[in-house]
């Protein structure tokens, strides 16, 4: 059994739901070493989140962002936490609703995602910087099976 833990950096993105599967895998060539295992991705921020969903039609990502923005609108008068602007507290709420991490099985050197599944960065701030992800891989390598 083998463990690997690595820090990934995601390029800055504007508010929205972004497909990042290839960006993640480009930084994790070690996945190819595993015949079976688990990959955990943990986003180290409080105003963005990670999710799995539709990887083909960009309308899904746009609709998710529109729903989240309507569910938790910027600048609501009942928010007290406004230190970093009107999108700050809504970003924290959205991050709690979606969550900071995802688990993905590894099979034959690839994430074992469904046909239409991809990894999303849900960026909840209008102008965020690069995002850090801790990737943890655990499992049996091809040599061990």
The Cα 142–Cα 44 span in angstroms is 30
What's the domain count of the chain?
1
Mean pLDDT for each consecutive 10-residue tract of the chain (145 residues)? 97 98 98 98 98 97 98 94 93 98 98 98 97 98 83
Per-residue pLDDT, 142: 85
| 25 φ, ψ (degrees, to nearest 5) | -65, -30
Q: What's the number of CA atoms in the CB half-sphere (13 Å) around residue 119?
A: 24
The Cα 96–Cα 47 span in angstroms is 9
Per-residue pLDDT, 132: 98
CATH code, 87: 2.60.120.460
Instruction: Say which residue the tokens 């309507």 belong to.
Output: 70
The Cα 129–Cα 13 span in angstroms is 7
Per-residue pLDDT, 144: 83
Per-residue pLDDT, 131: 98
Cα-based distances in Å from 22 to 66, 68, 120: 24, 24, 11
Per-residue pLDDT, 20: 98
- How many CB atoms within 10 Å of residue 15? 20
Q: 121 is in which domain, residue-wise?
A: 2-141
């Amino acid at each position: 059994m083998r463990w690997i833990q690595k820090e990934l950096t995601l390029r800055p993105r504007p508010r929205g739901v972004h497909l990042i599967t290839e960006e993640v895998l480009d930084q994790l060539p070690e996945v190819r070493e595993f015949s079976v295992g688990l990959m955990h991705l943990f986003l180290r921020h409080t105003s963005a989140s990670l999710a799995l969903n539709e990887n083909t039609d960009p309308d899904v990502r746009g609709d998710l962002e529109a729903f989240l923005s309507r569910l938790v609108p910027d600048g609501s008068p009942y928010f007290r936490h406004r230190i970093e602007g009107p999108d700050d507290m809504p970003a924290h709420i959205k991050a709690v609703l979606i969550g900071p991490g995802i688990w993905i099985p590894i099979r034959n050197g690839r994430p074992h995602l469904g046909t239409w599944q991809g990894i999303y960065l849900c960026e909840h701030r209008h102008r965020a910087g690069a995002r850090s992800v801790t990737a943890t891989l655990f499992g049996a390598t091809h040599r061990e099976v």
